[in-house]
Amino acid sequence: MPLKLDLRPHEKLFLGGAVIVNGDSRCQLAVLNDVPVLREKDILKESDADSPCKRIYLAVQLMYMDTPNLAKYHQYYWEQVRAVIEVAPSTTGLLEKLSDAVLGAHYYRALKHARELISYEQELISNACKPA
């Protein structure tokens, strides 16, 4: 089943190793084979990975986008997972789902779980910052 994408004007898209930029008008694309696809809004820049869970997302994103360096990103991922579990054991359930996807090489699915993890992290941070 093809992946259908509607792109806004000037929206960027990572597609199988290439960065594609849409022109001045909306367009619709269909991706017919299995290649890594990420919309600009789903791409996390390294400079924006400013929290432990965002660094986990970044590691998974790099696994998805740069398979030749998979071993390096896996090592970084597991280091980050251990660090997060150590300081926030309540993340274990989310990290198990995410890690199952990573171990099964389902990186796009893992990115979805990583977004849930980032939301949970933000919730923990905001609760910790509330006055007693």
Taking only the tens place, the pLDDT of each residue in 77-106 is 999 999 999 999 999 999 999 999 999 999
CA distance 104 to 85: 21
CA distance 123 to 106: 26
Q: How far is CA 64 from the centre of its chain?
A: 9
What is the pLDDT averaged over residues 35-57?
A: 94
Identify the H or E element spanning 7. strand 3-7
Give the global pTM: 0.90
What is the pLDDT averaged over residues 57-70?
A: 96
CA distance 33 to 45: 26
How large is the greatest C-alpha to C-alpha distance in the chain, in angstroms? 54
Q: Which residue has the higher pLDDT, 106 or 127?
A: 106
pLDDT at 129: 74
